[in-house]
Amino acid sequence: MSSVTVRVPAKVNVQLSVGPLRDDGYHDLVNVFHAVSIFDEVVAKESESITVQVNGKWSDQVPTDDSNLAIRAARALAKHAGRSYGADLIIQKGIPVAGGMAGGSADAAGALVACNELWGLGLPFEDLMEIAGDLGSDVPFSLLGGTAVGTGRGEQLTELPTGGVFHWVFALANGGLSTASVYAECDRLREASKAEVPWPQLNDSLMEALGTGDAYALGSHLSNDLQTATLNLRPELAPTLDSGRQHGALGAIVSGSGPTCAFLAIDATHARDLAHSLTTTGAAHTAVAAHGPVQGATLI
């Protein structure tokens, strides 16, 4: 096999509860991931070394050196297999870069699945999940897809049943935000307020809404503990969220660490109309309709 292609989805966090800062610099999380139909494609081709090339929108914002998460994933897989392998990785970007939708993690997951196939390793899914957890907190979910709750740093996953399809609109912002800077701002705001930070807990009402497929109930229970910090760093996102609500979104939230804003729609038609309204009114320069849940990293 000389070439393998893997499609891997973006995610939105329908609940992101952030616990107190731990001694190791991380936070305990309750992180409800939901995979949506915005995709990157990762192609792995035979090569003597491991390289990466990035195409599509935002490609100029993605590093192609050793810091690239897809390269790190391929190298971690080769190390796990105990041999030296090569692959030219070609990433077609559809997921925003530094947008709070796990684009880099998606590419890492895609590289793991593609190289496992290209190199004929035949490693089980559990092995790939273990490698993914060492690469980053969001990488295991990019492999898994669907809807799941992540605990610990977010990498300990439990699949959650969903009772139907949910329709979304994502308003894509100019420029990205580093996850580290948003968490740092969250910690700063908490320290300044001197408020006691509670231990994160899964929202039972949100779980029920997911299980029954009730979009109205889900919209009312969307939550993100990083949102205040993100809006502090990018205050221009607040009017975008307000505009989505004014145009009938069932819920409006910053996706992960942002700056992408996510809006839950009633159905596919409402999602298309909402995306059109956001762009024509100038509330967002680009708005994309999508649905979820969808599968994680998949060979195509």
Known binding-site residue numbers for ATP: 96-106
| Beta strand 3-21 pairing with 298-299 | antiparallel
Whole-angstrom distance, CA of residue 236 vs CA of residue 246: 16
Taking the C-alpha atoms of residue 260 and residue 283, their distance in angstroms, rounded to an integer, is: 12
Candidate list 11, 40, 214, 225, residue with the active-site label: 11
Torsion angle defined by CA atoms of residues 189, 190, 195 and 201, in that order, rounded to the nearest 10 degrees:
130
11 is catalytic: yes
Please confirm, yes or no, whether 45 is among the known catalytic residues.
no
Distance of alpha carbon 199 from alpha carbon 203, whole angstroms: 12
In contact, 265 and 271? CB cutoff 8 Å: yes
Cis peptide bond N-terminal to 259, omega within 30: yes
Per the CB < 8 A criterion, the answer to whether 29 and 157 are in contact is no
Spatial distance between the Cα atoms of 65 and 47, rounded to a whole number of angstroms: 17
Catalytic residue among 107, 138, 214, 225: 138
CA 200, 38, 51: angle at the middle one, nearest 5?
95
- List binding-site positions: 96-106
Q: Which two tokens stand for residue 123?
A: 């490693």
Which sequence positions are flagged as catalytic? 11, 138
